[in-house]
Amino acid sequence: MVNEDHMDDNYGSAFHALLMAGTFVVLFPLGVLWKRIFERLILHWLNQVIGVFAVIVGAGVGVYVSRMYNKVRLGLICSKICACLKVFIAIFICPPLS
Any domain includes 81:
no
Domain assignment of residue 28, given as a range: 12-72
Is the residue at 64 inside a domain?
Answer: yes
Instruction: Say if pTM beats, i.e. exceeds, 0.75.
Output: no
pLDDT reading at 73 higher than 70: no
Is 82 within a domain?
A: no
Per the structure, the count of domains in the chain is: 1
Q: Can you give the pLDDT at residue 26?
A: 93
Domain assignment present for residue 77? The answer is: no
Query: How many Cα atoms within 13 Å fall on the side-chain side of residue 25?
Result: 6
| Residue 91 belongs to some domain of the structure | no
Residue, of 59 and 35, whose pLDDT is higher: 35
Q: Is residue 16 a part of any domain in this protein?
A: yes
